[in-house]
């Protein structure tokens, strides 16, 4: 089963690449949003 999937991804790499990039961008976006939210709401960080 793994060898069949490997051949499929070698021929049609975009099926895994574009969703993977979308997940990466989404995770980075949530991290940046979380950092900004912490900066706004955490009183110990304010100067």
pLDDT score of 4? 79
Tokens 């049609």 correspond to what residue?
A: 12
DSSP symbol at 46: -
pLDDT score of 38? 92
Task: Give the closest residue to 21 by CA, choosing from 33, 9, 12, 29.
Answer: 29
CA 32 – CA 39 distance, rounded (Å): 11
pLDDT score of 9? 83
Helices first, then strands: H and E counts in the chain: 2, 0
The domain ranges of the chain are 2-41
pLDDT of 1-47, one tens digit each? 778 778 888 888 888 899 999 999 999 999 999 999 998 898 787 65
pLDDT score of 28? 99
pLDDT score of 33? 98
CA 44 – CA 36 distance, rounded (Å): 14
């Amino acid at each position: 089963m793994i060898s069949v999937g490997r051949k499929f991804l070698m021929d049609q790499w975009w099926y895994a690449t574009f969703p993977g990039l979308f997940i990466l961008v989404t995770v980075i976006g949530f991290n940046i949003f979380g950092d900004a939210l912490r900066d706004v709401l955490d009183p110990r960080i304010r100067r």
